[in-house]
Amino acid sequence: MTSSTIRARALDRGVGIESANKDKKYRKLQALSLYEHIYTEFPDCYRADEAMYRAGVIYDKYINDMKAKEVFSRLISDYPDSKYAERAKRRYRKLDLPSKEIKEQRELNLDILTKE
């Protein structure tokens, strides 16, 4: 499981041999698949909450806001004491903003994918 986490984070961040010559969206989709595997197959793992949060971020930025809300909501309910639960709450609230406000918020916010 640890190797899956390391591989997912490398793909997500675009580092390492496996990420070479792959476009960003393709890497993110591969990382998403690994993150989903981690939190689905190993829900009691100490990294499951992080994997779920990072999957939600990828859904939010690249795929589907509704799926992102679903993942963030599940993280908040399944791991309420996790440090990622508070982050998920903030992202969930932003997804509830009207479209124009979401766009403005996203432009102003730090890019979580590159900062974490």
CATH number of the domain enclosing 71: 1.25.40.10
Q: Own/partner pairs for 6-10, CB < 8 Å, 24+ apart?
A: 7/34, 8/34, 8/35, 8/38, 8/51, 8/54, 9/54
Mean pLDDT of the chain: 83
- Count of helices and strands (H, E) across the chain: 7, 0
Among left, alpha and beta (phi > 0; psi -120 to 50; other), residue 82 is: beta
Q: How confident is the model at residue 10 (pLDDT cuts 50, 70, 90)?
A: confident
Please report the pLDDT score of residue 1 as a whole number. Answer: 56
The pTM for the full model equals: 0.76
Backbone angles phi, psi at 98, to 5 degrees: -60, 155
Q: How many domains does the chain have?
A: 1
Please report the pLDDT score of residue 24 as a whole number. Answer: 82
Mean local confidence (pLDDT), 85-107? 76
Q: Which residue range(s) make up the domain with 65?
A: 2-115
